[in-house]
Amino acid sequence: MKFLRFGAEGQEKPGLLDEGGLIRDLSGVIKDLTPDQLGAEALAKLADLDVEALPVVEGAPRLGVPVAGIRKVLAIGLNYADHAAETGAVPPKEPMLFSKAITSICGPDDPTELPASSTHLDWEVELGFVIGTRAKAIPAGTGLDHIAGYVLANDYSEREWQKDRAGQFVKGKSHDTFCPLGPWLVTRDEVADPQDLDMYLRVNGESRQKGNTSTMIHKVAFLVDYLSQFVTLEPGDVILTGTPPGVGAGMKPPRYLKAGDIVELGIDGLGTQRHEVVAL
């Protein structure tokens, strides 16, 4: 199933996308799509609903973050060998972990803020997954069992803040709007192989990134196993899995976003996003 949340910011209602591409209102069934709704039993109950009996949402409402109450966002850096090469980095032997602030999360088509002091705002199309059941020091090979579903994400990064302003990556990754998620949470059963998904990103209609999740160094299932040894993963937690080549920092000369730019991205089966960059 493809779950979503629609409506004005702060007033979103739960919904789902039916097979005909219509948004169906779930607010008469559940109050919201929260971490409590992401376990196998809760998702099974929603899957048994008569979708055709749910109210159709008319028009084209704003879509919000597809899951309410996300507790943390973890991300993996340099997880595509060709992306590491374009930035002059050596791929790490173990996953490189950093976090993004919860306040960076926004809807899939919300504007992207260009902070007044930003000079190196970059893009990163990424596959994200959402935890459905708690994972702490889980046995190897069981990672996928803890995933509720997958989301499209853009790991926006201010490269000067990230690399030249001291401290950890989180500084350059966490401004408001730097983590658009959605449009949908696509349940695990609808993604046959998370390691075979085409992905792309365009800026002003020009292709910048084109890749496939098959070239990840550390695969999705392993990442859940691995991270659970260090961090307890709770329902609703989001993990971003890295980006393929084509980021602005890797271009010669580097190219970064400016006010008025339009960023479009997508992943097979997970939908698309469109952002206009707006100056603060």
- Residue ranges and CATH numbers for the domains of the chain are 2-53 (no CATH), 73-279 (3.90.850.10)
Q: In what order do the strands lie in the sheet with 271-279?
A: 112-114, 271-279, 262-267, 198-203, 206-212
List the chain pLDDT tens, one digit each, 280 residues: 999 999 999 999 999 999 999 999 999 999 999 999 999 999 999 999 999 999 999 999 999 999 999 999 999 999 998 888 887 888 888 999 999 999 999 999 999 999 999 999 999 999 999 999 999 999 999 999 999 999 999 999 999 999 999 988 999 999 999 999 999 999 999 999 999 999 999 999 999 999 999 999 999 999 999 999 999 999 999 999 999 999 999 999 999 999 999 999 999 999 999 999 999 9
The whole-number pLDDT of residue 81 equals 84
The whole-number pLDDT of residue 84 equals 81
The whole-number pLDDT of residue 89 equals 80
Residue with tokens 């090979």: 141
Contacts of residue 179, defined as CB under 8 A and 6 or more positions apart, other chains included, come to 73, 100, 104, 105, 106, 153, 154, 155, 156, 173, 240
pTM surpassing 0.75?
yes
